[in-house]
Structure 1
Amino acid sequence: METSTSTKQLLEIYYNGFARKEGWETVISDDFKFTGGDMTKTAPAVGKTAYIEVIKRFSRAFKTMRVKEMIIDGENACVIGNYDFIFPDGVSINGDVAEIWKAKNGKLDALTIFFDTLTFDKHIPK
């Protein structure tokens, strides 16, 4: 039960900071593994710095976010995040992102996300 509480606390710190677009980095492990956003790339981006770069791009697309649902099982968690997106071309949408987490040694260690990549490709220049 203690691990679930710890994972929940890590996720609460992460999402509180993520919604403000600051302070979320403190709970990310140095060798963090991120998978998502491109189904053709199954190998994760590895490292805290690599993940920060991914989030810099993603943060430009969302105005607000909130946690819709959180399910925690030990060091594993699934979060449904709901985002209000405003794209550079002026299009605004609301969408959900499924986020699968793994915690390890008191840090968030891995994340795999699932969302509508086609919409992003249409509205965000590469």
Structure 2
Amino acid sequence: MENQATTRQLLEAYYKGFAEKANWESTIADDFEYVGGDMNNTTPVVGKQAYIEIIKRFSQRFERMSVKQMIVEDDKASVIGNYDFQFPNGIKINGNVSENWTVKNGKLQSLTLYFDTLTFMANMKP
């Protein structure tokens, strides 16, 4: 249960900061692993700083985000994040993203995302 509580606390801190686009970085492990955005390439991007750079770009695409559902089991969690996206072409779309996490040594260790990449990329063109 201690792991489960820690996992939930880390995710609550992460998503609070993530929604505000500030102060979420301290929850991320230095050797963080991220997979998302291209399911044809499942090689993880490794490193906290690399993930921060990805999120800087991604944060420009959403106006609001909230946690729709969070299921925590020990050091693993599955979250459905709901996003109001604003794309360069002016299109606004509300969409869900499946976010699967692991925790290790009191930090978020990995994240794998699943979302509609076709719609996302089609709207990235101005």
Distance 1:100 1:121 in 2: 21
The two structures have a TM-score, normalised by structure 1, of 0.97
User: For structure 2, which runs of at least 5 residues remain unmatched after alignment?
Assistant: none
1:71 aligns with 2:77: no
Task: State how far apart, in whole Å, the 2-side matches of 1:56 and 1:22 are.
Answer: 10
| Residue number in structure 1 paired with 2:110 | 110
Q: Which runs of 5+ in 1 are unaligned?
A: none
Tell me if 1:35 matches 2:35. Answer: yes
d(CA) in 2 for partners of 1:85, 1:115: 13
Q: What corresponds to 1:14 in structure 2?
A: 14
Give the AA of the match of 1:31.
D
The alignment covers a number of residue pairs equal to 125
Query: Deviating runs (4+, > 6 A) in structure 1?
Result: none
Asked if 1:86 is matched to 2:116, the reply is no
Residue 102 of structure 2 aligns with an amino acid whose one-letter code is: K
Q: SS at the partner of 2:58?
A: helix
**% identity of equivalent residues:** 58
**CA separation in 1, counterparts of 2:57 and 2:118?**
16
Q: 1:99 is matched with which residue?
A: 99
1:106 offset after TM fit, Å? 0.2
Q: Which amino acid aligns with 1:34?
A: Y
Q: RMSD over aligned Cα, in angstroms? A: 0.7
Whole-Å Cα distance in 1 between the matches of residues 42 and 93 of structure 2? 27
CA distance in 2, matches of 1:34, 1:89: 27
Residue 57 of structure 1: CA displacement? Answer: 1.2
Distance in 2 (alpha carbons) for counterparts of 1:19 and 1:62: 9
